[in-house]
Amino acid sequence: MADGGIGAAITRKEDRRFLAGRGTYTDDINRPGQVYAAIVRSPHAHARVKSVDVSQALAFPGAVAAFTGADMAADGVGGLPCGWGITQIDGSPMAEPPHPVLQAERVRHVGDPIAVVLAETRNGARDAAEKVAVEYEVLDPVIDTARADADGAPRVHDEARNNICFDWQIGDAGPVDAAFAKADKVATLNLINTRMATCAMEPRAAVAEYESGTGHYTLYTSSQNPHVIRLLLGAFVLNIPEHKLRVVSPDVGGGFGSKIFHYAEEAIVTWAAAKVGRPVKWTAERAESFVSDAQGRDHVSKAELAMDGDGRFLALRVSTHANLGAYLSSFAPLVPTYLYATLLAGQYATPAIHATVRAVFTNTVPVDALRGAGRPEATYLIERLVDEAASVAGLDPAEIRRRNLVPPDAFPYQTPVALAYDSGNYAETLDAALKDGDYAGFETRRADAKARGKLRGIGLAAYIEACGAAPSAIAGQLGARAGLYESAEVRFHPTGTVTVFTGSQSQGQGHETTFAQLITERLGVPVENVEVIHGDTDRIPFGMGTYGSRSLAVGGSAIARATDKIVAKGKKIAAHILEASEDDIEFSAGTFSVAGTDRTLSIGEVAGAAYVPHNYPLDELEPGLDESAFYDPANFTFPAGCQLCEVEIDPETGTVEVVDFTAIDDFGRIVNPMIVDGQVHGGIAHGIGQALFENCVYDGASGQLLTGSLNDYCMPRADNLPSFRTDTRETLCPHNPLGVKGCGEAGTIGGAAAVMNAVADALKPLGIGHIDMPASPYHVWQAIHQSRNKTA
Amino acid sequence: MTVSFSMTVNGKPVKGECEDRTLLVQYLREHMGLTGTHVGCDTTQCGCCTVHIDGIPMKSCTMLAVSADGCEVTTIEGLAKDGQLHPMQDAFRENHGLQCGFCTPGMVMSAIGIVDRHRGEKLDEKTVRHELEGNICRCTGYHNIVKAVLAASEVMNKA
Amino acid sequence: MYEFNYRKAASLDEAKDLFSKGEDAKYMSGGMTLLPTLKQRLARPSDVIDLAAVPDMSGIAVTGDTVSIKARTPHAVVAANAEVKKAIPALAKLAGGIGDPMVRNRGTIGGSLANNDPAADYPAAIVGLGATIHTDRRTIAGDDFFQGLFETALEEDELIIQVDFPIPDKAGYMKFPNPASRYCIVGVMVSSKGGNVRVGVTGAGACAFRVKEMEDALKANFAAEAVEKISIPDGDLNSDIHASAEYRAHLVTVMAKRAVAEANG
């Protein structure tokens, strides 16, 4: 290992500025002459807009301008596009209703934007926005995921009959039905995967400016993928050619999916900046985030597992209703299909699987990817079902898992639901979790808790995820309207320092450190001599951004490819200077040498020669040492692992406390163990958050979001969580140059399932079966109370 | 409609004038360009805006700028001395107690308050977790933040 | 926030004078409830009258049988006060569990009581310890102070000056917090003093109230078992997504039981 290279737990390069308060988040950016935008949003879940009158707002002191959907339509502004199309079971395309930036005719969720008011101050913009008079004809909303497709339900879009966006399936129903027919035992579970608000701590913000002299636009936006925003905003919404539009994502204060998508506010400020000839700034208040950031999950499913007499899985049948909210967010159709149902095999060698997904529109905030995106939904379903199966089969939950795992010698393993798992050793992570979490000693701890009046439970989750969605050609066949590669440029400077330009976009993952470590490892340049640049479409090559735990596997691999090109060119330069044959040049730890001799040249000297080409093979080689690569992976990567959670429940109040949590993960090769550990911690907290605390609750009658602030939407806090026990195992990804898999979502993907299995285990002695998330004190008490009433 | 006031911010005297309704955090960020103090919510929950008022951690989003009249305000920008990070900042870096960095300034200011309240005591994990309840982090799961605070308390108690 | 005029009062008289001159004035103590309300544009006062500069409004005095807390004393000061901890540990505990450390550093007892949020902690102490509230013009018995949802016995311009808590023989406070906001879903203060028992409940109803049946039972036997079978009717209790009235009623019993156990140490 190079000093500071792969495997080194070095501290992060970006931390000094963050710790000193010198980070630059979007709201920290102010442009000369800027005005502030306030968005007028619908207070109703579903209504016809009869009239919008901005005259009083315009008359308000300090107001600069006010615009409505009609104004945008008059300028030919397009709707917000969707980046993934689904082909339905019958071969027809999904329903794809328009998604105007500002609504002029109908509003479809609380928070749906109607108008924008610009003013000289932030407070003034809000004051003036309140003066916009909107006349509504309130309509009945449809809210409930499972009943959105009922006959007679209010219709969200004229284009979607029975509110169905698509009916989709994967796997083969025939073998599944046959397996169920001959099964010895069947486990069945109806479960709800709750809706989550992402709640990145930095609320979204956008600042745009327009230079009339050049026709150039610049948009600063808190985004996970500035090039994707540039493409969607430029090509589909505002018709700005890409060379006239620069999108900058400066420091981003957490994303977790919610900052992947192209939002109305980005289009509004960019368009308005040209209209008024002044920079326009918008920053969400948290209350606005709750009704305008895409939310996540929201499935209602039925799952059935057929087993033989030994508890071996024969077939899995799943049917899911997925709530997409009021409009198609940028990648919404992808999440409950190819990121969800393709993972339903889990870690198990179930020979036959069939899943149907009905995606529905409702009068709620749009739903899209949220940390894990589909994979936590799949894992929750499988892992809860497997525990139920253990119960039905009379087997220990660890034992039934062990019997059904894909064995380590079966890779590559083709699942019945499209994916081909590339590598893994699931028994190893299971065994390690059981050992580190002292599974064998649990009953003693349960008895001890009982003596203290507490119900203790233990829960396993053996998860698998698919990261770094790929390859682009297959994704295109499945409906992707974009590529899924990543880009990198490795630029040596004449004195031997390096700038890396990456298409990946950190929102806290530490790319500035991890990617520098790749350069250290592969080129021998010290970490402190490497700068990583991301987040500016005028500086970086066309990049797809950061989501789906793809940055190291795809973006890192692109950097690796670029370093290979650097080494290849460096060898030619070194061969010339060292007067040797190129074939005899070796490269290691930053030094080119002639094999079998002591003649060497450092990579810094090679860089110097490339930029000051006095002794240089100019007839066959261009000067400079600056290489780019685009990397399009051959397959997903498949991180996997096992989590073991213990909870204690206070039966009098229903309070669930997570008292122990073990996570053993296989992420392939690990570049910075400290950063990986941090990603796992945060992921687990996110999973525990969904299991015990977080839930978006809409009033069924009015469609109001009842959890529209942090006073009601319960974010996990430090005193809600334990410290975590984490460790890793390593099977390398065989198809990317780094052998890496991805770690950003793993904790979340298994977390909720492990906690809820533990909760179910704790409540089992009371005769309580499955309960849905969140296992809040109130919900758990209700379950206990009802079971006591039943037995009383 | 406007108020004027004077305070000390990070050791420097400041004469301020702003709208009556201007919050301290707005004043720091928008009038003084001290953008290290962040706003993560509007209900006094998240703690991203925590600063010290006369040495005591408070939420600058729930305080009028004019209320800081006569006070000494310390923000995250004022912690490092002569280019040396405060031991709490150092501990966050050493223990990977931050990821996206957005909650970090408030978290650090709040954490210093915890150590201050327990001067000379050996802090334990439970106390730290309990007293971090006014600061929300989405990235770290708090594990490394708690480690950082415990580590910093050792250093700060020696100083 | 809507626009308002900020006024800084240098004395009680000036505060009242400014109040009377304002069209719809509001007093501000720590501002920990007022400012969030204003930020959400749920109120639109003409004037905000800051009491921070009024002299002699903050401080704690503990005499033989009384803990006196001046109105602008922050929660953190009450929680950390050694004399309060010794005289009424349950009161220090209650103050130390309000909001979070930063809220406690700024929020004050007077502000909390005057606002009378149904989920605030202090009201449980007022009725559970039998406190007396001194205002700029009179003395109000704690039992008479809370009159409904956000309603108190205070006249519009009346200001709390000090709260006197009689020191009980023993007392205990137990809170079941709202998981999200950390306000009380239910908070119960029980105390016993010379054979008199009080059970003060906050969070469960429109405002703080006493539970006579529990008090009677505890008078006979000040032990956790005495209240564990007593359930209060849930008809008038609060109900929301975090807790139904039925659950709140149940929690009153559980928290009362635990508060008694704590009081008995």
The mean per-residue pLDDT over the stretch A545-568 comes to 96
**C-alpha dihedral (B118, B119, B124, B125), degrees to nearest 10:** 70
Residue B11 in tokens: 């050791």
pLDDT digits (tens, 9 = 90+) for A668-717: 999 999 999 999 999 999 999 999 999 999 999 999 999 999 999 999 99
Instruction: Give the residue among A761, A750, A780 at the shortest CA–CA distance from A661.
Output: A750
> Between B155 and A2, whose confidence is greater?
B155
Domain presence at residue C55: no
Q: C162: Cβ–Cβ under 8 A, 6 or more apart, which residues?
A: C68, C69, C70, C71, C133, C134
Residues making up chain B, counted from first to last: 159
DSSP code per residue over A395-423: --HHHHHHHHBPPGGG-SEE-TTS-EE--
**Over the range B58-76, which residues count as b (16 or more CB within 10 Å of their CB) and which as e?**
bbbbbbbbbbbbebbbbbb
Shared-domain flag, residues A510 and A453? no
Cα gap A493→A624, rounded to integer Å = 9
Shared-domain flag, residues A308 and A267? no
pLDDT digits (tens, 9 = 90+) for A64-117: 999 999 999 999 999 999 999 999 999 999 999 999 999 999 999 999 999 999
On the question of pLDDT at A196 being above 90, the answer is yes
Shared-domain flag, residues A234 and A311? no
pLDDT digits (tens, 9 = 90+) for A396-420: 999 999 999 999 999 999 999 999 9
Tally of CB atoms within 10 A around A249 = 28
User: Please, which residues 243-282 of chain A have a Cβ atom closer than 8 Å to chain B?
Assistant: 251-254, 256
Collapsing DSSP states into helix, strand and coil, what is residue B98? coil
The mean per-residue pLDDT over the stretch C220-246 comes to 96
Tally of CB atoms within 10 A around C51 = 23
The reported pLDDT for the residue numbered A730 is: 97
Select the residue from B102, B112, B131 to test the A interface by mutation, using most A Cβ atoms within 10 A: B102
Cα gap A492→A141, rounded to integer Å = 58
Domain presence at residue A693: yes
The domain tally of chain A equals 3
Q: Are A13 and A516 in contact (CB under 8 A)?
A: yes
Question: Which residues in chain A have Cβ-Cβ distances shorter than 8 Å to B76?
Answer: 19-21
Average pLDDT of every residue of chain A = 97
On the question of pLDDT at C169 being above 90, the answer is yes
Domain presence at residue C254: yes
Partner-chain contact C35 B50, CB within 8 Å: no
pLDDT digits (tens, 9 = 90+) for B21-67: 999 999 999 999 999 999 999 999 999 999 999 999 999 999 999 99
Residue A334 in tokens: 């992808």
DSSP lists the bridge partners of residue A301 as A191, A320
pLDDT digits (tens, 9 = 90+) for A310-352: 999 999 999 999 999 999 999 999 999 999 999 999 999 999 9
The mean per-residue pLDDT over the stretch A354-369 comes to 98
Q: C177: Cβ–Cβ under 8 A, 6 or more apart, which residues?
A: C97, C183, C184, C185
Q: What is the CATH number of domain B87-158?
A: 1.10.150.120
Read off the amino acid at residue A536: D
Instruction: Give the residue among A467, A475, A640, A474 at the shortest CA–CA distance from A556.
Output: A467
pLDDT digits (tens, 9 = 90+) for C106-135: 999 999 999 999 999 999 999 999 999 999
Tell me the CATH number at C46.
3.30.43.10
User: Please, which residues 486-515 of chain A have a Cβ atom closer than 8 Å to chain B?
Assistant: 507-510
Out of A18, A203, A679, the one facing B101 most closely (by C-beta) is A18
- Positive or negative torsion for Cα C39, C45, C51, C52: positive
The mean per-residue pLDDT over the stretch A761-780 comes to 97
**C-alpha dihedral (C140, C142, C145, C148), degrees to nearest 10:** -170
Out of B36, B105, B138, the one facing A199 most closely (by C-beta) is B138
Shared-domain flag, residues C132 and C253? yes
Cα gap C142→C155, rounded to integer Å = 15
User: Please, which residues 762-791 of chain A have a Cβ atom closer than 8 Å to chain C?
Assistant: 776-778, 781-782, 785
Shared-domain flag, residues C33 and C117? no
Question: Which residues in chain B have Cβ-Cβ distances shorter than 8 Å to A15?
Answer: 92-93, 98, 101
Cα gap A550→A224, rounded to integer Å = 12
Cα gap A439→A399, rounded to integer Å = 12
On the question of pLDDT at A2 being above 70, the answer is no
Cα gap A644→A457, rounded to integer Å = 11
Q: ipTM of the predicted structure?
A: 0.98
Cα gap B147→B132, rounded to integer Å = 12
Cα gap A25→A506, rounded to integer Å = 12
> Between A3 and C176, whose confidence is greater?
C176
Instruction: Give the residue among A269, A275, A265, A266 at the shortest CA–CA distance from A212.
Output: A275
Shared-domain flag, residues C33 and C76? no
On the question of pLDDT at A792 being above 60, the answer is no
The mean per-residue pLDDT over the stretch A543-550 comes to 92
Residue extents of the structural domains in chain B: 2-77, 87-158
Question: What are phi and psi for residue A604, nearest 5 degrees?
Answer: -65, -40
Cα gap C81→C77, rounded to integer Å = 6
**Residue ranges making up the domain that contains A555:** 15-20+485-631
Shared-domain flag, residues C28 and C87? no
Taking the CA of residue C104 and the nearest CA in chain B, the distance in Å comes to: 9
Q: What is the CATH number of domain B2-77?
A: 3.10.20.30
Shared-domain flag, residues C44 and C72? no
The mean per-residue pLDDT over the stretch A181-194 comes to 98
The reported pLDDT for the residue numbered A474 is: 87
Shared-domain flag, residues A647 and A552? no
The reported pLDDT for the residue numbered A113 is: 98
Q: Are C12 and C29 in contact (CB under 8 A)?
A: no
Question: Which residues in chain B have Cβ-Cβ distances shorter than 8 Å to C102?
Answer: 47, 50, 57-59, 110, 113, 134
Q: A452: exposed, middle or buried (C-beta count within 10 Å: 0-12, 13-18, 19+)? A: exposed
Cα Rg of chain C, angstroms: 18
On the question of pLDDT at A199 being above 60, the answer is yes
**Residue ranges making up the domain that contains C45:** 5-50
Confidence class for position B159, pLDDT limits 50, 70, 90 = confident
- Positive or negative torsion for Cα C39, C42, C48, C51: negative
Out of C1, C241, C247, the one facing A781 most closely (by C-beta) is C247
The reported pLDDT for the residue numbered A791 is: 66
Residue A577 in tokens: 């200077």
Shared-domain flag, residues A433 and A561? no
On the question of pLDDT at A363 being above 60, the answer is yes
Taking the CA of residue C50 and the nearest CA in chain B, the distance in Å comes to: 8
Shared-domain flag, residues A334 and A364? yes
Shared-domain flag, residues A600 and A647? no
Q: C63: exposed, middle or buried (C-beta count within 10 Å: 0-12, 13-18, 19+)? A: exposed
Q: Are B89 and B146 in contact (CB under 8 A)?
A: no
Domain presence at residue C210: yes
Domain presence at residue C224: yes
Confidence class for position A788, pLDDT limits 50, 70, 90 = confident
Kindly state whether B42 is in contact with chain C, defined as any CB-CB distance less than 8 angstroms: yes
Residue B60 in tokens: 């600058």
Select the residue from A652, A721, A779 to test the C interface by mutation, using most C Cβ atoms within 10 A: A652
Average pLDDT of every residue of chain C = 97
The reported pLDDT for the residue numbered C158 is: 97
Cα gap C162→C160, rounded to integer Å = 6
Kindly state whether B52 is in contact with chain A, defined as any CB-CB distance less than 8 angstroms: no
On the question of pLDDT at A510 being above 80, the answer is yes
On the question of pLDDT at A177 being above 90, the answer is yes
User: Kindly report the CA angle at C26 between B42 and C53, in degrees rounded to 5?
Assistant: 95
pLDDT digits (tens, 9 = 90+) for A430-444: 999 999 999 999 999
Taking the CA of residue B80 and the nearest CA in chain C, the distance in Å comes to: 22
Confidence class for position A3, pLDDT limits 50, 70, 90 = confident
Partner-chain contact B93 A11, CB within 8 Å: yes
Cα gap A588→A607, rounded to integer Å = 15
* A471 preceded by a cis bond (ω within 30 of 0): yes
Cα gap B58→A326, rounded to integer Å = 39
Instruction: Give the residue among B118, B112, B115 at the shortest CA–CA distance from B79.
Output: B112
The domain tally of chain C equals 2
What would you measure as the largest C-alpha separation in chain C, in angstroms? Answer: 56
* A336 preceded by a cis bond (ω within 30 of 0): no
Q: C246: exposed, middle or buried (C-beta count within 10 Å: 0-12, 13-18, 19+)? A: middle
Confidence class for position B10, pLDDT limits 50, 70, 90 = very high
Confidence class for position C218, pLDDT limits 50, 70, 90 = very high
Confidence class for position A300, pLDDT limits 50, 70, 90 = very high
Confidence class for position A790, pLDDT limits 50, 70, 90 = confident
Cα gap A581→A572, rounded to integer Å = 9
DSSP lists the bridge partners of residue C60 as C69
Q: Are B59 and B83 in contact (CB under 8 A)?
A: no
DSSP state of A154: P
Select the residue from A692, A695, A712, A720 to test the C interface by mutation, using most C Cβ atoms within 10 A: A712
DSSP state of A3: T
Query: 3-state DSSP helix/strand/coil percent for chain B, to nearest 5?
Result: 40, 20, 40
User: Kindly report the CA angle at C70 between C68 and C73, in degrees rounded to 5?
Assistant: 115
Shared-domain flag, residues C37 and C19? yes
Question: Which residues in chain B have Cβ-Cβ distances shorter than 8 Å to A724?
Answer: 141, 143
pLDDT digits (tens, 9 = 90+) for A201-217: 999 999 999 999 999 99
Cα gap C220→C230, rounded to integer Å = 14
Domain boundary pick from A614, A631, A648: A631
Cα gap A426→A413, rounded to integer Å = 13
Tell me the CATH number at C196.
3.30.465.10
Tally of CB atoms within 10 A around C20 = 10
Shared-domain flag, residues A680 and A779? yes
DSSP code per residue over A572-632: HHHHHHTTS-GGGEEEETTEEEETTSS-EEEHHHHHHHHHSTTSS-TTTS-S--EEEEEE-
Instruction: Give the residue among A706, A199, B130, A762 at the shortest CA–CA distance from C242.
Output: A706
Shared-domain flag, residues C34 and C92? no
| Percent of chain B residues past pLDDT 90, beyond the cut | 96
The 3-state secondary structure of A422-447, one letter per residue:
CCCCHHHHHHHHHHHCCHHHHHHHHH
Domain presence at residue A119: yes
Shared-domain flag, residues C162 and C234? yes
Collapsing DSSP states into helix, strand and coil, what is residue A100? coil
Kindly state whether C4 is in contact with chain B, defined as any CB-CB distance less than 8 angstroms: yes
Give the distance from CA A619 to its chain's centroid. 48
Q: Are C127 and C209 in contact (CB under 8 A)?
A: yes
Shared-domain flag, residues A306 and A404? yes
Partner-chain contact A706 C241, CB within 8 Å: yes
Domain presence at residue A3: no
